[in-house]
């Protein structure tokens, strides 16, 4: 199976999540992007605890597309310090992996 990476982020508006997802797939930076939420996130910011309603975006991509995808997310992200996490998938359906790699080629 060819390696798969999942890149995740959260944003403060569904519309922003939808734009990030659609642009990444259209640009072949990700084969698939899923928008979920809303979720309530609690965290420290500027010395106080905050709780914010957010939407998550999970991008499925090939390892050689990760850096360009991260740049894309950073450029379109409304947060000063965006959460951008990369997870390497250890195993899965080889047919899905082949499809994912084919979809991330220009």
- All structural domains of the chain with their residue ranges: 4-92
The per-residue pLDDT for range 8-62, each reduced to its tens digit, is: 999 999 999 999 999 999 999 999 999 999 999 999 999 999 999 999 999 999 9
CATH fold for domain 4-92 = Alpha-Beta Plaits (3.30.70)
> Which pLDDT does position 32 carry in this prediction?
98
* Cβ-contact 9, 33 below 8 angstroms: no
Task: Note the pTM of the prediction, 2 decimals.
Answer: 0.94
CA distance 103 to 49: 41
> Which pLDDT does position 1 carry in this prediction?
75
Above 80 in pLDDT, residue 79?
yes
């Amino acid at each position: 199976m060819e390696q798969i990476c999942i890149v995740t982020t959260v944003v403060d508006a569904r519309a922003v999540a939808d734009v990030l997802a659609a642009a990444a797939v259209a640009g072949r930076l990700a084969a698939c992007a899923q928008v979920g939420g809303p979720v309530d996130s609690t965290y420290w910011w500027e010395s106080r605890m905050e709780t914010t309603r957010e939407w998550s975006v999970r991008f499925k991509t090939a390892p050689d597309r990760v850096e360009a995808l991260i740049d894309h997310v950073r450029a379109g992200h409304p947060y000063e310090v965006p959460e951008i996490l990369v997870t390497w998938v250890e195993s899965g359906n080889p047919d899905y992996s082949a499809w994912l790699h084919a979809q991330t080629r220009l």
